[in-house]
Amino acid sequence: MSTLARIAIAGDHHGIQLIDRIVAVYSERGHDVIDLAPRVEGIVDYPPLCAAVARRVARGDADLGIIVGGSGQGEVIACNKVPGIRAGVAYSEFSVDISRGNNNANIMVIGTKVIDERTTLTLLDRWLRTPFKGGVHTQRLAQIAQIEAEFMA
């Protein structure tokens, strides 16, 4: 997605500083960044924050989402519970290329215990400009949507 996007962002206590940086950088670049991160003292549980971002993306109130946590593992699980969400953990160029290009991921999950700020911004830039490849991947996404629909009935 090389165009400007509406991006919802949130994260737990591990990610507040990084979230502030992401909001500043991408707002300055012209993206509409919807900051849903709580600014509270102490530990913050990630599942409700993941759900808030995922719901915005699923409803179309945001084009994409970013979640920042410790490892990113629990966050990606929570995000993917929302129908229509395809969240992927970004830890390398390869993971970003696959999540966007093959899986058309609409939420990028970042683990602050896994990658640093500089790497995060590099991967986020790559994620935002990587287009969905379509082709055989479209068929696979339809199959994933069928699985999802089976459990919504």
Q: What is the pLDDT of residues 50-107, one digit of tens each?
A: 999 999 999 999 999 999 999 999 999 999 999 999 999 999 999 999 999 999 999 9
Note the pTM of the prediction, 2 decimals: 0.95
Strand ranges, E, within the chain: 6-11, 32-35, 64-69, 87-89, 107-111
For the domain 6-152, what is the CATH code?
Answer: 3.40.1400.10
Question: pLDDT of 100-136, one tens digit each?
Answer: 999 999 999 999 999 999 999 999 999 999 999 999 9
pLDDT for 145 beyond 70: yes
Question: What pLDDT shows up at residue 45?
Answer: 95
DSSP symbol at 116: -
Which pLDDT band, with edges at 50, 70 and 90, does 2 fall under? low
Are the C-beta atoms of residues 107 and 65 closer than 8 Å to each other? Answer: yes
Q: Which residue has the tokens 């969905």?
A: 132
